[in-house]
Amino acid sequence: MKSKRPGLKNFFFAILPAFVLAVVIYFFLSMLYYHAPTHSFDPFLQTYPPYLDSKHLEKPAKVFRILTLGGSTTGNMRLSQENRYPEQLRSILQEQYKKSGIEVFNAGMDWYTTKHSLINYVTNMRDYNPDLVIIMHAVNDLYRSFSPTDLAVEPYNRLWSHFYGPSINGAKPPTFEQYWLTKFFLPGIREEETWSGKFLWSVSCLLKILRKIYDDWFILLKAIMSPYS
């Protein structure tokens, strides 16, 4: 007598409890995520400025202070401290003027434009009492002339209020799926370029595209229905 193999019905009922549990966990975590999302950013500068502690407020005698302002090409967090241009400048000047103290404070920050640096200087960095201020800006100012959908909320305007940049999550919070993918999988995987990394990155991009399509269709539907509301 031939033994009966488990049919599709038996298989379905076998995996049903696990599927239901996964769905319950998914909805619980998603509700938890959407209930209390926090996307911190500086209300004036978007990205928090470099910290200026109290020891820098009083300038010692025979010290020449230089303040450097700019974007990522000045802050350059990807390089070690000694390889960033402000520290290179300090080292060169100190070699030339050995009898004087040379201090260079790097106040550059990723994403900063001339507007950010102006606010940063007036509200914070002028307390450093610099003898010389060096400002270097270019790419970030140019970037604000565009309105990329991932970083802006409306068409270009000359006040740059359309461009949210690093604080875009405040206006367009990431979905639950995007948040977990980028937090736990994508940061390290991008560098490794593994097949699983490429797959997860593709899934993340697909989610962004689907959300964009959903947003566009919602706006279109709202415009069509507005005369009848």
- Does residue 111 lie within any of the structural domains? yes
pLDDT at 196: 56
Are residues 77 and 154 located together in one domain of the fold? yes
At 162-210, the pLDDT tens digits run 999 888 888 888 777 777 766 665 544 444 445 555 566 666 667 666 7
Are residues 48 and 128 located together in one domain of the fold? yes
Of 170, 199, 216, the domain-final residue: 170
- Does residue 106 lie within any of the structural domains? yes
At 46-67, the pLDDT tens digits run 888 887 777 777 888 889 999 9
Query: Mean pLDDT throughout 88-92?
Result: 95
Are residues 110 and 194 located together in one domain of the fold? no
Are residues 102 and 193 located together in one domain of the fold? no
For residues 112 and 125, the answer to whether their CB atoms sit within 8 Å is no
Of 170, 193, 219, the domain-final residue: 170
Are residues 142 and 94 located together in one domain of the fold? yes
At 125-165, the pLDDT tens digits run 998 899 999 999 988 999 888 888 888 888 898 888 899 98
The total number of structural domains that make up the chain: 2
Domain that holds residue 213: 174-229
Are residues 53 and 155 located together in one domain of the fold? yes
- The β-bridge partners of 65 are 103
- Does residue 90 lie within any of the structural domains? yes
Q: In what order do the strands lie in the sheet with 63-70?
A: 101-106, 63-70, 132-136
- Does residue 124 lie within any of the structural domains? yes
Are residues 119 and 184 located together in one domain of the fold? no
Cα 50–54–55 angle (5° rounding)? 100
Q: Which residues contact 30 (CB under 8 A, 6 or more apart)?
A: 176
Are residues 213 and 134 located together in one domain of the fold? no
- Does residue 21 lie within any of the structural domains? no
pLDDT at 168: 85
Are residues 147 and 115 located together in one domain of the fold? yes
Are residues 156 and 178 located together in one domain of the fold? no
Of 132, 150, 170, the domain-final residue: 170
